[in-house]
């Protein structure tokens, strides 16, 4: 029988890819927390910043609870993180965040564009405190454009990107995918925007991604005609499959 004990010991002794990287998770619900969960899984030291009076709203609203007050969904998406409660609407809360930003490598936020600026914790402000900070913004419709300041949700991104045109039954109405593919897809793109290859110096500056932008390419391989021609899909296409 092969003895894997040495291999396991060597694997456990190896540092994870993002060991030594500090991330400030200033996000709630799914896309932002999921992205930061991936960074934590890769070894980053993730500090989750939560508002007072209950913290992240998914603590009590995403799935069932096993033991304690927190939902299973919250526990899944916030594993391997540390957490601190800060009221970012107060001077004292912002001052603590400024001190955390001094030693951070990455900050991830998913508020509507403009909110972080009103709070005084936008990229322009924090980059003066830490010029090397990578500031990643997740939103519904991007950081610029006519719809930038609108709130965005997974269902909206699925509908507007065309994802819903390939779910449901042919001839029927479009149907939402069984899982939040826009939220999760956006969360998968965000770490790529934050983390440069380890072979080059760590970059600095601002990165952004949106649920709509990340959802649009996901369905083109199955239904490229509307995406290429602009034709409107009135009902689920012939590739449609019953949703879970």
Would you place residue 10 in the very low, low, confident or very high pLDDT band (cuts 50, 70, 90)?
low
- pLDDT tens for residues 209-236? 555 555 555 545 554 444 455 555 544 5
* Region class of 192: left (phi > 0), else alpha (psi between -120 and 50), else beta: alpha
In a domain, 230, yes or no: no
**Structural domains counted in the chain:** 1
In a domain, 147, yes or no: yes
| Residue 189 to residue 187: CA distance in whole angstroms | 5
Q: Are 34 and 209 in contact (CB under 8 A)?
A: no
Range of the domain at 190: 16-167+180-221
The predicted model scores a pTM of: 0.77
In a domain, 208, yes or no: yes
Neighbours of 68 (CB within 10 A): 8
Would you place residue 68 in the very low, low, confident or very high pLDDT band (cuts 50, 70, 90)?
confident
Higher confidence at residue 217 or residue 34?
A: 34
Q: What long-range pairs does 189-195 form, CB within 8 A, spacing at least 24? A: 189/214, 190/31, 190/32, 190/35, 190/108, 190/136, 190/138, 191/35, 191/38, 191/39, 191/42, 193/136, 194/35, 194/39, 194/106, 194/108, 194/134, 194/136, 195/18, 195/39, 195/42, 195/106
In a domain, 91, yes or no: yes
In a domain, 207, yes or no: yes
In a domain, 242, yes or no: no
- pLDDT tens for residues 97-153? 999 999 999 999 989 888 999 999 999 999 999 999 999 998 877 677 777 777 778
Q: Which residues are catalytic?
A: 183
In a domain, 200, yes or no: yes
Output the domain CATH number for residue 215: 3.40.50.10540
In a domain, 190, yes or no: yes
């Amino acid at each position: 029988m092969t003895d894997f004990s040495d291999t396991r010991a060597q694997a456990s002794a190896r540092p994870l890819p993002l060991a030594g990287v500090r991330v400030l998770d200033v996000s709630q619900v799914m896309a932002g927390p999921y992205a930061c969960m991936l960074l934590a899984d890769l070894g980053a030291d993730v500090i989750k910043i939560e508002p007072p009076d209950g913290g992240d709203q998914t603590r009590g609203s995403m799935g069932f609870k096993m033991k304690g007050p927190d939902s299973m969904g919250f526990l899944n998406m916030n594993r391997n993180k540390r957490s601190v409660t800060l009221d970012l609407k107060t001077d004292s809360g912002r001052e603590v965040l400024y001190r955390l930003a001094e030693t951070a490598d990455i900050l991830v936020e998913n508020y509507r564009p403009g909110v972080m600026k009103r709070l005084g914790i936008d990229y322009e402000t924090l980059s003066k405190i830490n010029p090397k900070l990578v500031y990643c913004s997740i939103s519904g419709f991007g950081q610029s454009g006519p719809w930038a300041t609108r709130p965005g949700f997974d269902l909206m991104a699925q509908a507007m990107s065309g994802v819903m045109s390939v779910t449901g039954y042919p001839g029927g109405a479009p149907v939402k995918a069984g899982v939040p593919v826009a939220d999760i897809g956006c969360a998968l793109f965000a770490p790529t925007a934050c983390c440069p290859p380890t072979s080059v110096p760590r970059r600095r500056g601002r990165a952004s991604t949106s649920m709509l932008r990340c959802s649009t390419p996901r369905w083109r391989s199955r239904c490229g005609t509307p995406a290429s021609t602009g034709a409107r899909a009135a009902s689920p296409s012939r590739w449609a499959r019953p949703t879970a």
